[in-house]
């Protein structure tokens, strides 16, 4: 049986706990340094606290140590790895092979390793990675081919922001700002506005976020991903807030539960417990740039969010008319209800996104400070639903572990045996009260009512009752004490975590002889490892060499296709190459049509 894992992001420990409560089987989080999101660091103490909470449910915590490392950073990286091991982390997500020699934990090859072929997957597996986090711009057929080529676990992103470049091989931020994506400091130039010109200087497009993609959403494709070999489904968002994580995790957890329910003999969840109650998730009400399934079906679609590089949210209607203190909305549907404090947005005349707050909403009339560019006919989007945010905050779900109780009353003793769903067992044995129950049937109802309750994060229920002799009178306080004692005893026992795959080194798998700067080699141990595997010529990482004329980005995304200018679409070819202009910067855009990829240099 395959255990399916929902892997959630956490900017902080508190967000990680929220993700566990909403159904995550695992959480990935950064320590104080060397994570690929510099703005999402956490203390080792906080990570230890998150590990303790997650392990109650058999959920796991993965720490990101996924930047490339310089030689002078190796000692401190090693110290961090050891500290994370002591904190209880279950695995490390790694980009730089130098970390392989630092840890005894299971190691996952980060998406920054740019895994998009079976050959690359086999090589990384041979280094000792037990899990491979695949590139996002892959089809189901490509995912299946990689899965069949290796024994390692396969992890796929299913939701969240998309990098336009193949992960781990984007040097645009480093080139423009000196802030390296491979060092956790991406300045996100793909969300910037550009003009597009051809080689003759003709302006084709003005002031659009031409490299900005919509957000990933594969909520309805989990079954196909599982059939292709993926067992971990990853949500992007280590810079996102708690409401985003709660909403997205609960939506995907419910979808995974439904998948497991359809195939109970084939799949199970990777952790224990069930999410009870809480809000109803709604992905359109959470930060998004519009959604795409990208290349999953092996075909091209319209993937760009060039008109909305920030979150636009849900379309709610158009401006019917302006009023002295705001506007009247012509709603997109009959169920649109605006609330005071909603965050609204529209595309301004200059191509940017104008955002504003709705101060007071009365039906379709909105009172607000009118932003510049607001006019009749403008399409209005809601990127913050004040009512939904309040619902997320006040109606939080609870996660519970089911515990079966077997109750036996014999020879003056009451023995209650508790067995949790993960297999732990605890026994409470107490003398039976001497006073007999005056109304045995009512006493049985009381026993069930008091024992069939939640204590801590356990949901107890009586599975069997064996009674030898008369039923004693047992008050609510007496029965509650038994239940609480059993919960405490279970807490003292470690949860049985489902096994994770540990990688093993296979030195017979060769490395290509020529390694360019795209191999991201930034330290001597990594250089030595690749040399031992057969590499003859190894270029240093772009961050060290800033190689002249380097290809800064390669992607399945194609500006020509997006704009309807692709020659395969029967359109006339513009004078090439094309250029992206932003102020003084000029980037060269070329098209590798043989493999249907676009490059930026």
User: In angstroms, rounded to a whole number, what is the distance separating the alpha carbons of residues 559 and 596?
Assistant: 12
Helix or strand run (H / E) with residue 141: helix 140-149
pLDDT mean across residues, the chain: 94
Q: Is residue 458 part of a domain?
A: yes
Cβ density class 16-29: b for 16+ within 10 Å, e for less: bbbbbbbbbbbbbb
Element holding 212 (H helix, E strand):
none
Question: Are both 414 and 388 inside the same structural domain?
Answer: no
SS3 89: coil
Q: Which two tokens stand for residue 505?
A: 């080194």
Do 261 and 314 lie in a common domain?
no
Q: List, as one string, the DSSP characters of 97-116.
A: GGGGGT-SS-EEE-GGG---
Judge contact between 161 and 237, C-beta under 8 A.
yes
Inform me whether the pLDDT recorded for 544 exceeds 70: yes
Which of 368, 394, 420 is the last residue in one of the domains? Answer: 394
- Same structural domain, 418 and 407: yes
- The candidate with the shortest Cα–Cα distance to 60, out of 72, 45, 50, is 50
Is the domain of 318 the same as that of 385?
A: yes
Percent of the chain with pLDDT over 70: 100
Name the helix (H) or strand (E) containing 79: helix 74-87
In this prediction, residue 304 carries a pLDDT of 95
Q: How far is CA 283 from the centre of its chain?
A: 14
Q: Which of 273-277, 351-355, 559-563 has the weakest average pLDDT? A: 351-355
Kindly report, residue by residue over 368-404, the tens digit of the pLDDT.
998 999 999 999 999 899 999 999 999 999 999 999 9
Same domain, 314 and 463: no
Domain count, the chain: 4
pLDDT at 572 over 70: no
Q: Does a structural domain hold residue 559?
A: yes
Q: Residue 425: how many CB atoms within 10 A of its CB?
A: 13
Where is the domain boundary, 346, 373, 394? 394
Residue 117: inside a domain:
yes
pLDDT above 90 (res 463): yes
Same-domain check for residues 156 and 222: yes
Is the residue at 516 inside a domain? Answer: no
Write down the pTM of the prediction: 0.94
Determine what percent of the chain is predicted with pLDDT higher than 90.
87
> Is the model's pLDDT at 307 over the cut of 90?
no
Angular region, 283: left φ>0, alpha ψ -120 to 50, beta rest: alpha
Asked if 476 and 550 sit in the same domain, the reply is no
pLDDT category, 352, cuts 50, 70, 90? Answer: confident
Give CA–CA dist 280/354, Å, rounded.
Answer: 29
Average pLDDT over residues 571-587: 86
User: Which of 394, 424, 443 lies at the terminal end of a domain, its last residue?
Assistant: 394
What's the pLDDT score for residue 540? Answer: 97
Q: Is the pLDDT of residue 574 over 90?
A: no
Tell me which residue of 550, 432, 567 sits closest to 175, measured CA to CA: 550
For residues 143 and 66, membership in a common domain is answered with yes
Per the CB < 8 A criterion, the answer to whether 377 and 324 are in contact is: no
Instruction: Note the maximum CA span of the chain.
Output: 99
What is residue 490's three-state secondary structure? Answer: helix
CATH number (domain holding residue 388): 2.40.10
Q: What SS3 class is residue 19?
A: helix
CATH number at residue 152: 3.20.20.70
Q: Does residue 236 lie within any of the structural domains? A: yes
| 239, 40 Cβ separation under 8 angstroms | yes
Residue bearing the bigger pLDDT, 21 or 572: 21
- String of DSSP letters for 276-342: ES-PPP-GGGSS-S-EE-TTTTSS----B-TT-SS---EEEEEEEEEETTEEEEEESSTT----TT-
Omega before residue 577 within 30° of 0, cis:
yes
DSSP 537-548: EEPPPHHHH--T
pLDDT digits (tens, 9 = 90+) for 284-305: 888 889 899 999 999 998 999 9
* Average pLDDT of the residues in 144-151: 98
Q: Which residues contact 75 (CB under 8 A, 6 or more apart)?
A: none
- The band of 106, judged by pLDDT with boundaries at 50, 70 and 90, is very high
Alpha carbon distance 423, 427 (integer Å): 13
Residue 65, pLDDT score: 96
Domain that holds residue 558: 171-212+543-601
- DSSP state for residue 412 in the 8-state scheme: T
Instruction: Based on the fold, state whether residues 137 and 223 are members of the same structural domain.
Output: yes
Q: 320 and 464: one domain?
A: no
For 253, phi then psi, to 5°, come to -65, -40
Query: Is the confidence at residue 520, as pLDDT, over 90?
Result: yes
Asked, for residue 594, whether it belongs to a domain, the answer is yes
Residue 583 is predicted with a pLDDT of 87
Residues 40 and 56 in one domain: yes
Is residue 12 located within the same domain as residue 146? yes
Report, as an integer, the average pLDDT of 587-597: 94
Q: What angle do CA 57, 60, 63 make, to 5 degrees?
A: 150
- C-alpha span between 133 and 368 (Å, rounded): 45
């Amino acid at each position: 049986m395959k255990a399916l894992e929902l892997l959630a992001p956490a900017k902080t420990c508190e967000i990680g706990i929220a993700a566990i409560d909403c159904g995550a089987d695992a959480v990935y989080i950064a320590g104080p340094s060397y994570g690929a999101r510099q703005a999402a660091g956490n203390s080792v103490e906080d990570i230890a606290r998150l590990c303790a909470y997650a392990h109650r449910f058999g959920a796991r915590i993965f720490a990101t140590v996924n930047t490339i490392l310089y030689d002078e950073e190796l000692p401190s990286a090693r110290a961090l790895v050891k500290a994370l091991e002591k904190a209880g982390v279950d695995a490390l997500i790694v980009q730089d092979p130098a970390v392989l020699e630092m840890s005894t934990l299971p190691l996952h090859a980060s998406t920054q390793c740019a895994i998009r072929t079976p050959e690359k997957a086999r090589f990384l597996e041979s280094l000792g990675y037990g899990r491979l986090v695949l590139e996002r711009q892959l089809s189901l057929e490509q995912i299946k081919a990689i899965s069949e080529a290796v024994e390692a676990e396969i992890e796929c992103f299913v939701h969240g922001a998309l990098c336009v470049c193949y992960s781990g091989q984007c040097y645009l931020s480093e080139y423009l700002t000196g802030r390296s994506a491979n060092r956790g400091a991406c300045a996100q130039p793909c969300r910037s506005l550009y003009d597009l010109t051809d080689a003759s200087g003709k302006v084709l497009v003005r002031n659009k976020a031409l490299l900005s993609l919509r957000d990933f959403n594969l909520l309805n494709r989990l079954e196909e991903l599982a059939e292709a070999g993926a067992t971990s489904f990853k949500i992007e968002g280590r810079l996102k807030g708690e409401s985003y994580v709660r909403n997205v995790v609960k939506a995907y957890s419910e979808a995974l539960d439904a998948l497991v329910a359809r195939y109970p003999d084939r799949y199970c969840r990777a952790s224990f417990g069930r999410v009870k109650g809480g809000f109803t998730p709604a992905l359109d009400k959470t930060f998004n740039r519009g959604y795409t399934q990208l290349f999953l079906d092996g075909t091209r679609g319209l993937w760009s969010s060039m008109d909305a590089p920030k979150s636009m949210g849900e379309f709610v209607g158009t401006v019917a008319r302006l009023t002295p203190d705001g506007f009247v909305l012509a709603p997109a549907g009959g169920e649109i209800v605006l609330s005071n404090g909603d965050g609204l947005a529209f595309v301004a005349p200059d191509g940017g996104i104008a955002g504003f707050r709705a101060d007071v909403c009365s039906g379709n009339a909105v009172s607000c400070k009118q932003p510049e560019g607001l006019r009749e006919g403008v399409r209005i989007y809601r990127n913050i639903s004040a009512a939904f945010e309040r619902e997320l905050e006040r109606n939080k779900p609870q996660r519970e572990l089911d515990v079966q109780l077997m109750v036996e009353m014999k020879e003056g003793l009451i023995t209650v045996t508790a067995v949790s769903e993960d297999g732990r067992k605890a026994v409470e044995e107490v003398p039976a009260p001497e006073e007999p129950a005056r109304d045995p049937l009512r006493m049985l109802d009381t026993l069930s009512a008091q024992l069939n309750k939640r204590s801590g994060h356990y949901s107890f229920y009586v599975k069997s009752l064996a009674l030898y002799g008369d039923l004693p009178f047992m008050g609510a306080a007496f029965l509650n004490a038994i239940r609480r004692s059993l919960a405490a005893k279970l807490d003292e026992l470690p949860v049985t975590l489902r096994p994770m795959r540990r990688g093993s080194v296979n030195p017979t798998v060769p490395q290509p002889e020529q390694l360019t700067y795209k191999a991201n080699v930034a330290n001597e141990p990594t250089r030595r490892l690749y040399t031992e595997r057969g590499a003859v010529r190894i270029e240093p990482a772009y961050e060290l060499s800033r190689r002249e004329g380097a290809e800064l980005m390669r992607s399945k995304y194609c500006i020509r296709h997006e704009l309807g200018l692709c020659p395969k679409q029967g359109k006339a070819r513009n004078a090439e190459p094309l250029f992206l202009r932003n102020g003084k910067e000029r980037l060269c855009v070329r098209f590798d049509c043989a493999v249907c990829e676009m490059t930026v240099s």
